[in-house]
Structure 1
Amino acid sequence: MGYQLKKSYVTMVTTIIGFVIFLLYILRETDVETFTKEDLGKYLLLVVPVLIVIDMIGKFIFNLLDVNKDKDKKRDQMDEFDTIIEYKSVRNFGIAFMLGFFISCLLFLVSTYIFYPFLALFITLHVSGLVLQVSYIKYYEYGV
């Protein structure tokens, strides 16, 4: 298994763990009827540092577990194939995020509570991150 595949698997697992932990925190701490704009702002400001910390922990664990003789050489090499995979994966991420963002905007119009659009946007952020990692895995395993 290549370096990029291992990195994608570890990132995907840490994203899922972070999503579950933060979602449980949000669902435990909030009530649908009393969810205000201030709560929305608080959770939106919290989600970025939480994602960054979880990503750093995942990268740290990955670097500890990645035992390879040519570790430094392979990490910096990126050819045209890697660039194409990067572009296509980011495209898939963007499409997934745009669809979820529009669904969240529609929920803002339809829903009487602000909690449901926030939850849709939060889930969209994490699902699009998973789409990014699954795209990396698919393109590295099966080709472009």
Structure 2
Amino acid sequence: MTDLSCGVCPVGRGLARAGDTWSMLILRNAGLGQTRFDQFQKSLGIAPNILARRLAALVTAGMLARRRYSDHPPRDEYVLTEAGRDYLPVLHALGGWARKHFGGGAMRRPVEAGSGREIVPVVVDAETGVPLADLAIALAMP
């Protein structure tokens, strides 16, 4: 299989680092304030061996940083890096897309923490503010 993490496609590079379901859910929960192994395991219902591998991969990918919070016994927590924090809007956009197209039944919804106002995520062009869904997009090499 081709190593997408170094290819010319930025989508491939991103998916190579955080494209599996568990990794995305770990990053989501880190964005909600979870930092410790047992918090991730309990909230996600993920097997410890899988969680350990995903956390290590996210640290290697630069999405999370490992920080020691106890020496005796040795315990680490996992905090979002700049790259991890910058990924959170991608997850919110994915959630908005899923709510729109696969939203049957009860689902959580993103709200602004201070006001409780529901947030509807939309990805826009930073220069024009136009939603990407309204633009005809092509790919070009530099």
Length-normalised TM-score, structure 2: 0.25
Higher relative contact order (CA 8 A, sep 6+): 1
Q: Which has the higher helix share?
A: 1
Length-normalised TM-score, structure 1: 0.25
